[in-house]
Amino acid sequence: MNDTPAKPAAKKTTAKKAATKTAATKTTAPKKATAAKKTATAKRAPAAKKAATSRTAATKGAAPAQKAAAPARKPESRVAMVRRARRINRELAELYPYAHPELDFTNPFELLVATVLSAQTTDLRVNQTTPRLFAACPTPEDMAAIPPEQLEELIRPTGFFRAKAKSLIGLSAALRDRFDGEVPGRLEDLVTLPGVGRKTANVVLGNAFGVPGITVDTHFGRLARRFGWTTAQDAEKVEADVAEIFPKSDWTMLSHRVVFHGRRVCHSRKPACGACPIAPLCPSYGEGETDPEKAQKLLKYELGGQPGQRLKPPADYPGRPAAPLAAS
């Protein structure tokens, strides 16, 4: 029997196996590609989820900051600012109808001396010190002649007593020699006296001579900036800016009212915003304590049920007088 015809069959079988293998390879390739794609997708999924989680966390973390951000204020025109400032003055006049200089004095010389002594200390401490001082030196002639060591001892409680004694002896001698022992009633003359600047001169002019003046002390300057009346830090610039807002006739009482408010409510470190009657008019509301009950505890002097700063306050002052130095 001849085996030759069987060879083509073998070839056919081999070809069939090769075709089957090729088909299997083709079938396997897409499966592998699909599996690889699924694997890559699976790997990317946690990363994408992690990134999404990070973005969500970042968004949640940013939410409080966005919530806390105060709405932007519309720019205030000059006319609107002046109207608001004058309304603040009217509100302060209702709140402090008894506003006054918080230094005890009976004449221009006593006020001048007390104002010089008030630098770097409280009006209360000055008021507790001046009774003994004026008993020993009632006139410029007396103060110019007193031994420096004796004067230093009399004013020691006010602090910086050596520098202040030098100024007091110098200004007293100037009053004696140049002004016949009288305190001059002009700013130009007052500022030539030792230890006397514009602030002291305006205090004396406004309260001893009835000449309008703006007293820019630390309280007045702070509130003028908080109220948006000025951005200046220099006292003379603050005075000039505020003088353009208010009529001259208001200057002296405006000074008393603003200083009163700064000492009683609008403190430097922690203003009592929640107990402030003019809070709706103040662009700086929120800088201090806004809770009404907590803010009420921050009020001082007569508003807080405490004694005032003057030993002999005006008759219309609603609070209690301060205690003398020996009893404090």
State percent of the chain over pLDDT 90. Answer: 76
Establish if 127 belongs to a structural domain: yes
Residue 162 is part of which domain span?
A: 78-314
| pLDDT score recorded for residue 167 | 97
240: which residues sit within 8 A by CB, 6+ positions away? none
Quickly state the pLDDT bin for 304 (edges 50, 70, 90): very high
In the numeric block, which tokens belong to residue 97?
């109808």
DSSP notation for 313-327: --TT--SPPPPPGGG
pLDDT digits (tens, 9 = 90+) for 31-49: 443 444 444 444 444 444 4
Is residue 148 predicted with pLDDT exceeding 80?
Answer: yes
Establish if 57 belongs to a structural domain: no
Using only the alpha carbons of the chain, give its radius of gyration: 41
Interatomic CA distance for residues 170 and 176, integer angstroms: 10
142 flagged as catalytic:
no
Establish if 7 belongs to a structural domain: no
Establish if 169 belongs to a structural domain: yes
Asked if residue 137 belongs to a known ligand binding site, the reply is no
* 109 neighbors 140 (Cβ within 8 angstroms): yes
In the numeric block, which tokens belong to residue 203?
């205090």
| pLDDT score recorded for residue 71 | 55
pLDDT digits (tens, 9 = 90+) for 241-259: 999 999 999 999 999 999 9
Quickly count helices (H) and strands (E) in the chain: 13, 0
Quickly state the pLDDT bin for 14 (edges 50, 70, 90): very low
Interatomic CA distance for residues 239 and 221, integer angstroms: 9
Active site residue: 104, 123, 217, 241, which one?
Answer: 217
Domain count, the chain: 1
11 flagged as catalytic:
no
Is residue 122 predicted with pLDDT exceeding 60?
Answer: yes
Average of per-residue pLDDT across 214-228: 98
Q: What amino acid occupies position 164?
A: K
| pLDDT score recorded for residue 286 | 97
Quickly state the pLDDT bin for 97 (edges 50, 70, 90): very high
Is residue 175 predicted with pLDDT exceeding 80?
Answer: yes
| pLDDT score recorded for residue 2 | 41
| pLDDT greater at residue 30 or residue 151 | 151
pLDDT digits (tens, 9 = 90+) for 262-285: 999 999 999 999 999 999 999 999
Establish if 42 belongs to a structural domain: no
Question: Which CATH number does the domain housing residue 184 bear?
Answer: 1.10.340.30
| pLDDT score recorded for residue 326 | 73
Interatomic CA distance for residues 190 and 202, integer angstroms: 9
Quickly state the pLDDT bin for 72 (edges 50, 70, 90): low
Average of per-residue pLDDT across 159-184: 98
Average of per-residue pLDDT across 134-158: 98
Tokens 């008993």: give the residue.
Answer: 135
* 312 neighbors 104 (Cβ within 8 angstroms): yes
Quickly state the pLDDT bin for 76 (edges 50, 70, 90): very high
Establish if 120 belongs to a structural domain: yes
Q: Poorest-confidence range of 19-23, 87-91, 224-228? A: 19-23
Most distant CA pair in the chain, distance:
162
| pLDDT score recorded for residue 232 | 98
Q: Poorest-confidence range of 73-77, 111-115, 145-149? A: 73-77
Interatomic CA distance for residues 328 and 192, integer angstroms: 36
Establish if 160 belongs to a structural domain: yes
Average of per-residue pLDDT across 306-324: 97
* Residues comprising the chain, all counted: 328
**327 phi, psi to nearest 5 deg:** -95, 0
Of the candidates 235, 209, 24, the residue with the CA atom closest to the CA atom of residue 101: 209
Is residue 152 predicted with pLDDT exceeding 60?
Answer: yes
Of the candidates 180, 176, 175, the residue with the CA atom closest to the CA atom of residue 190: 175
Active site residue: 104, 123, 164, 199, which one?
Answer: 199
Interatomic CA distance for residues 116 and 229, integer angstroms: 27
What's the CA dihedral at 322, 324, 325, 328 to 10 degrees?
Answer: -60
What's the CA dihedral at 138, 143, 144, 150 to 10 degrees?
Answer: 150
Average of per-residue pLDDT across 205-209: 98
148: which residues sit within 8 A by CB, 6+ positions away? 165, 166, 169
